[in-house]
Amino acid sequence: MSMTSEFKEFIAKGNVLDLAVAVVIGAAFGKIVTAFVDKIIMPPIGLLIGGVDFSKWAIILKDATVNAAGEAVPAVAIGIGEFLNTLIQFLIIAAAVFVVVKAINRMQPKKVEAPAAPSEEVLLLREIRDSVKK
């Protein structure tokens, strides 16, 4: 089998196509969650805390300067607000994935395990019981 035909067979399998669809939908869902957190959740929280814009909330370690060549040197800062936004986005996505997995697990039929075969001792005891009954 040639490499090309083998690759076509691999791509044509349902699992690969399902995975591709999941990646595209996951990327779109990530953008939705980002917009939800940045535009809907964080502004009211910032207003309640005292008008803080979380996207710009940072600890400045070194202020922005201009070097000898006249080029701007950006500030060195720890972006706490961006980190909080990302953390909240992660928690929302994790909760959504948890709910989806839980729903899928509920829809799958429960597997009934066959009883285990009796041990050698039980078989021997049954044999003795049966011989005593005779």
Q: What is the CATH number of the domain that holds 76?
A: 1.10.1200.120
Q: How many domains does the chain have?
A: 1
Residue 60 pLDDT: 92
For residue 119, is it within any domain? no
Residue 14 pLDDT: 65
Burial environment of residue 42 by CB neighbours within 10 A (0 to 12, 13 to 18, 19 or more): buried
Distance CA 134, CA 127 (A): 11
pLDDT of 59 > 70? The answer is yes
| Residue type (1 letter), 4 | T
Mean pLDDT of 50-77: 87
Instruction: Please state whether beta strands 76-78 and 72-73 pair in parallel, antiparallel, or not at all (unpaired).
Output: unpaired
Q: Looking at residue 71, what DSSP letter applies?
A: -
Residue 9 pLDDT: 78
For residue 71, is it within any domain? yes
Distance CA 117, CA 123 (A): 10
| Tokens of residue 120, six digits | 């050698």
Domain that holds residue 52: 3-113
For residue 50, is it within any domain? yes
pLDDT of 93 > 90? The answer is no
pLDDT of 3 > 90? The answer is no
For residue 123, is it within any domain? no
Mean pLDDT of 44-69: 85
CA nearest to 73, candidates 64, 81, 82: 64
| Residue type (1 letter), 83 | F
